[in-house]
Amino acid sequence: MKILIVDDEKLARDRLRRLLDGVDNIEIVGEAADGVEAVKSVEKTAADIVLLDVRMPGMDGLEAAGHMAKLDNPPAVIFCTAYEEHAIAAFDVQAVGYLLKPVRKTSLQESIEKASKVNRAQLSAIEDVERKHSSKADAGRTHISARTRLGIELVAVDDVRYFMAEHKYVTVKYGEGAKKEVLIDQTLKELEDEFQDRFVRIHRNSLIAVDYLEAMERDGLGGQYQVRLKGIEDSLTVSRRHVADLRRFMQNL
């Protein structure tokens, strides 16, 4: 079994390594110090099991587990944490293990044995709980994950300029000049609910990032309102039903 160790504290990672020393059929394939690094490492190492801390700076363990659940071959997750309050979320997703620090060797081995086979339904449930967990936080998730031909791509929410609904998918426009994009299968309504303080709706098919909103103005032809976003050449159309709400929103910024 290939194991990835994830904890923001090196001493904690070293201790887990020592606990696994000498355990049969175990290969430690890597370490990660935060959630973003963990998701990337899971794909790179094809880890079967992730020993995952819950509280980490930036992307926490619950959010990272949700992104991992989208992989073609998602790993089993064993949470390792000093805090008991996240245990309910772990039980909700039927987590393979929820170990309190300091982790005991016998408990760790028992959890690894259980992790030898985890079904897809359990891993999908991790993603559901991760979304619920994130939606309760003031800022929501720190990253958006998208499945691309290269695997799972993580986009920092702070780097997103706008979301645009097209057919069955939503396009995430991000990066300098919003020249980068990925497709995700969430709805605009779900995104609007989760990031309500960071994005505002300007059309039935688009949400824009508040931090990049520069101005709303009327074009000289049809009188249609549009918004300008910082660093983006193209303007985005504001529908008539959202003009008044957007104007009030901008007055309160």
Architecture of domain 143-251: Beta Barrel (2.40)
The residues facing 172 across adjacent strands are 163, 182
Residue 89 is predicted with a pLDDT of: 53
Mean pLDDT, rounded, for 82-104: 70
Distance CA(249)–CA(246), nearest Å, equals 5
Residue 205 has pLDDT above 70, yes or no: yes
**Cross-sheet strand order for the sheet of 225-229:** 213-218, 225-229, 236-237
Question: What are the structure tokens assigned to 5, written together?
Answer: 């160790």
- Topology of domain 2-136 in CATH is Rossmann fold (3.40.50)
Domain ranges of the chain: 2-136, 143-251
Are 59 and 34 within 8 A, CB to CB? yes
Residue 94 is predicted with a pLDDT of: 45
Q: What is the pLDDT of residues 206-253, one digit of tens each?
A: 999 999 999 999 887 678 899 999 999 888 999 999 999 999 989 887
- Comparing CA positions, the residue from 207, 173, 210, 205 lying closest to residue 193 is 207
Residue 84 has pLDDT above 90, yes or no: no
Query: H/E element holding 10?
Result: helix 10-20
16 residue type, one letter: L
Total residues belonging to the chain: 253
Residue 85 has pLDDT above 80, yes or no: no
